[in-house]
Structure 1
Amino acid sequence: MLGQIAYALPFLAQGFAVTLWVSLLVVVLSLVAGVMMGVGLVYGPAPLRWAVRIFSDTIRGIPILVLIFFVYYGLPAVGIHLESFWAAVLALTLFKTAQVIEYLRGAVGSIPK
């Protein structure tokens, strides 16, 4: 039993490191993109507001697992090939960006004028 745990520990540590790296990238990328798009949604011209709203509503309406499968299996069908790491980062970043847009819209909307 202890031998199996000792054997698996390096693999678990490696997986933990990859998880932290993916999380860090997704948080940074989604915050930057979400804030920029959220500001565009609140203060931008009408065409930009519509584009951001369509992106946000569409991505938030797709279950995260379906989005991950679409990025990993669907993008290669149209000629865009990503490693599994970057496919996960892209899918999670798209999903979290749409949520950050809505957080920012709600936060700005709650400020009294």
Structure 2
Amino acid sequence: MNLTDLAQALEVFRGASFYDGLTLHHAQLLLFVGQRGSVTYAEIEDHLSLSNASVSRSVNALSSGVRHRQTCFELLKIERDLNEGRRYVVSLSEKGMKLLLHLEAVCQGRR
């Protein structure tokens, strides 16, 4: 990917109708989840070098279950881990998958 491709991909985020409030930090989290399929909060913490509180705020903002804010991007799903009932796993929602497919098309020049 060259800088032009990167700029076009970032424009996809900026141009999305739900963009208001979506940060580069959110984009990184979304891409990480998309690459891995599903991840735990601890995996996000380790990969992005964030605190548990920061991961929790970001994941909640990108999901549909926002409690304290009005911003709700609905790009991620939060579900209980079937193997460890006290832990949650994060994956892409249908809307999140569509956004990443669109980003991939832009990066491959298919727009």
**Normalised by the shorter chain, which TM-score bucket?**
under 0.3
- Structure with the bigger RCO (C-alpha within 8 Å, sep 6+) is 1
Query: How does the TM-score come out when normalised to structure 2?
Result: 0.27
Higher helix content, 1 or 2: 1
Higher strand content, 1 or 2: 2
Query: How does the TM-score come out when normalised to structure 1?
Result: 0.27
